[in-house]
Chains A and B, each alone.
Chain A
Amino acid sequence: MFKKFPNLTLGLLLVLVLIAASAQGRRVSHLRDCDRFYRWMLSACTQVRIFGIPGTTIEGADETEGVDARLFRQLIEKSDPVLPDIPVGERDYDQNGDPYPKIVRFTAVPPDPEADTAEKEGLIQTPEQISRDQQLWALALSSDMAPLRAEFLTALREGTLTSSGSQLHLSGLYEERGTTVSLANMFLGFRKMAANLVWLEVDKLYHKGVMHRMLPLMKTCVTLDPTFIDAFLVGAWHLAYNATAKLTDTPYELREYYPKYTDWLGEKEQYYYSGIEFLEDGIRKNPREYKLYFDLGYGIYDEKLHNTPKAVEYLAEANRLYHDRWVPRQLYRLLGKDERYEESKKGWEDYHAWQPENLVAPRFIKLMEGAIKERDAEWASFKARAAEELAARAAAAGDATRAQEWSALAQQAREAETAGYEAARQFWRSIAEESEQSEVYAVARELILNGREKLQQKRYVEAWVDFDRARWASDEFWDEATKAMVEAKQLANEPLALTEIRQLEREQIQLDYTRHLPKSMGGKFFEFSEGTWTEKAKGSSSEGTEIIRDTDAFFELLYNHPEIGKALDTLDGNIKVKVGDTWLRIVNPKPALASKLYTPPA
């Protein structure tokens, strides 16, 4: 045939090959569309988990009305019957106490210590994450999703989506309006080169010390190249650290309350939140980049705002993703700082099993052991106080048997407290001696415990000396030891130094302003709203059993659950707290103390 009709045969062959190529082109185009859709699903689910809503809204707008929210609702409806069952974890609840949709839980794979051995290119990845990503990709490709996919692509083309991230890069969100391609894009990476040049300019401005001119340039830089992770990281670092380096903390009297951040802010503090917003923008665009979560958690929330529970949340997210090996180390350290000692110790033990040559893990395991001993002694103290109170009440009511019973229990608890503190002191001493006093953490802890014992024995001056030595031994306990030292001085009727008087005044003013701001307490986070402190353990939709403060039931609760003692002692007003699996509403008959922020209703 070729010899007879060469042109026809070649023509036909060419047409056939072109049809095949065109069909393949359509397949690739379909895959690219599904790719965009897949990345949007990942990004939107992450945003729901981290920020509460997919995408961003204008302040004051109804967040359920946007295109992102509408598409996300449809995604939930369509994906729910298809995805396998995922158990609702302890932290899988939203702000309203409702469990996250299945697809949100599905995309958040818990970290797998076993998987940490699967090391690649110096980083860590989990097989479960890989498997779920593949299932999600199959879902994005499926014909069931075709109508939603089409709707998503239309919204993307029209530029009405705010939740599409840039790890897509394909989003079109940051491309020029009106077309998805341009001559600039043609010379692949042209925009990236422009972003790099802008970055060089930012660097130059930093060295000139012109901070205020850096911010718009940094924003330009990440708009040109939303995958420029380091621009987000270094930009936030400039904002939170360098821009504030020469500023002093704003006195509370000069601060303004920002309901958006639930905090009182001055000029310096606003920079911290600018840094946070810059990193949050990075997370929206690159939801799978652990460094953004790490810097947000550790760099700003922990180091600058001292909000350890929030820092732990972000570090836990970084640890869940494809991460470097220092991420879990920092997470476990902060878990300890947040008084979640058992979790921290378990984490360090897993880490030690994985990296036996690491010298930090065995040290922290020991420190956590000591902290647990101290914490147990503190709980015994709460128990003793509760039992003593119950014994006194029973005696006053004429119930001698019960009074005797409670006295015996109080005695037991006091003995446990003394033994606990003694065990903790011995433990710290042994570590300090083993290390020839170079383990300053243990040295400082022992001195603080010694000081406390001397306070009880009314040896105030000696206690004061111990606390003073402790705070110089390790700056980690500077605040705690200083506070105790001032207390000892006051008890000893010694005059306070001028700086100490000013510090007490500042603390009082701060308390006036922050009495009703969210607080971290013994590894738990409490939020204040409508006159009640609520533990931010999610899933608190039920009303809970009511217990009136300073009643027998209240002290019995405290005796049985000393772990809530610290919160009950510190937080003012009514508290809603989770004890075991039950929610309790602890009602204070006295009105909450007024603060600058909150005035109880008349």
Chain B
Amino acid sequence: MGGFAGFMRGSFSIAKYTLREGLRKKTMIGFLILSILVIFGSQFITAFLAQSTVGDSQADIDVKLIKDICVTVISIFGVLITIFISASVVPGEVENKVIYTILSKPVRRFQYLFGKFLGVQLIVLLNLALMGGLFFVALYFKQQVLPTLLLYSILLTYFSFLVVSAFTFAVSCTSSSSVLPTIAGLFIYITGNLTDYLKDVYDRAGQTGDALDAFIGNVAYGLWNILPNLQYFNLKDQILYLQPNDPPRDVQLPQLIIYGLAYAVAGYLMSYWIFRRKEL
């Protein structure tokens, strides 16, 4: 237990340091400020709508606009922040050679990497909390009701970022610069959102009776099974617009969390596998 406690203490120290370092990154702060400005600005976008409609509908349209703008902003800026941070923490330390000082101390590579990964997650969570918190407040001021369901939406958004972050982190372990992992991160995000297309390819394959057609279908099916599908996390409509009791949504929420965690573990294992072989 002592060993585990020591491991966690070490990892947390690295995570804390990574968080502090991350908060100083200008790109991240820039994205964060931009997103916060847009979320704040969503309060005023409804000024474009003249007060033409009956009271209730006008208020509802205001709320809808705020929800749509904020959800989109959180998704876009959130994933950009996640990719930039995940792609830069390890290569940054390799580049400025801080990693050599750390690894020369009694810190195991697994522990170091875990600390870094944890640090990245803390930054992502902090950003999401800031953006989500502002969204929460914006909605509360419009509706005068605590939008508790919104928290589920933000939670799911985080788990989709976790998957992107884990695989971007794995790519970043192969590189000494953050450019390649950033591009890879964006690619992972795009691919992750297009995984459903593979299922479509499989469903439509075999119609010609051609062997190649069937083969392509099977390959697509295999890839569909292996690759993470970020569209699964897209339950925002059900969360934000449906009534509070919705059995399918309630069942899917925990299953999606497990799904996100499983791919995050896979991503992290991949990064460790790469990192432990890295010559430092």
Contacts and interface: CB of A to CB of B under 8 A. Distances in A.
Nearest to A154: B203
A31 B248 contact: yes
Interface centre among A192, A199, A233 (most CB of B within 10 A): A192
The 10 closest A-B pairs by CB, nearest first: A21-B262, A137-B247, A35-B248, A186-B193, A189-B72, A322-B243, A192-B68, A169-B237, A17-B266, A130-B245
A172 B145 CA distance: 32
Contacts of A230: 53, 57, 60-61, 64
B61 A199 contact: yes
A88 interface: no
B200 interface: yes
B13 interface: no
Given A125-B245, A199-B61, A229-B60, A20 B262 contact: yes
B54 interface: yes
A32 B232 contact: yes
A536 to B, nearest CB: 31
Contact of A31 (B203, B228, B255): B255
A24 B75 CA distance: 24
Interface string A215-252: 00000000000011110011001000000000000000
Nearest to A207: B50
Interface stretch (B20-28, B124-132, B172-180, B269-277): B269-277
A17 B170 CA distance: 15
Interface stretch (A8-16, A345-353, A381-389): A8-16
15 contacts: A7-B273, A10-B269, A24-B262, A28-B255, A28-B256, A29-B199, A31-B251, A129-B245, A130-B245, A181-B193, A193-B68, A203-B49, A234-B53, A322-B243, A322-B244
B52 A206 contact: yes
Contacts of B272: 10
A134 B249 CA distance: 11
Interface centre among A10, A25, A192, A207 (most CB of B within 10 A): A25
A188 B232 contact: no
Contacts of B265: 17, 21
A334 interface: no
Contacts of B50: 203, 207
Contacts of A26: 225
A27 B231 contact: no
B229 interface: yes
Contacts of B251: 31, 137
A121 interface: yes
Interface residues of B, number: 63
B53 A188 contact: no
A580 interface: no
A354 interface: no
A133 interface: yes
B280 interface: no
Interface of B: 48-50, 52-54, 57, 60-61, 64-65, 68-69, 71-72, 75-76, 145-146, 189-190, 193-194, 196-197, 199-200, 203, 225-226, 228-229, 231-232, 234, 236-238, 241-249, 251-252, 255-256, 258-259, 262-263, 265-266, 269-270, 272-273, 276-277
Interface residues of A, number: 66
A17 B270 CA distance: 11
B64 A234 contact: no
A200 interface: yes
B135 to A, nearest CB: 13
Contacts of B196: 180-181
A1 to B, nearest CB: 15
Contacts of B243: 123, 125, 288, 322
Contacts of B242: 167, 288
A22 interface: yes
Interface string A474-514: 00000000000000000000000000000000000000000
A181 B197 contact: yes
Contacts of B228: 21, 25
B273 A24 contact: no
Contact of A169 (B65, B71, B238): B238
B66 to A, nearest CB: 10
Given A14-B269, A34-B248, A186-B194, A200 B48 contact: yes
Contacts of A22: 225-226
A188 B75 contact: yes
Contacts of B245: 125, 129-130, 133, 322
A218 to B, nearest CB: 13
A228 B68 CA distance: 11
A6 B273 CA distance: 9
Contacts of A228: 64
B75 A31 contact: no
Interface string A27-63: 1110110110011000000000000000000000000
A153 to B, nearest CB: 9
A178 B111 CA distance: 47
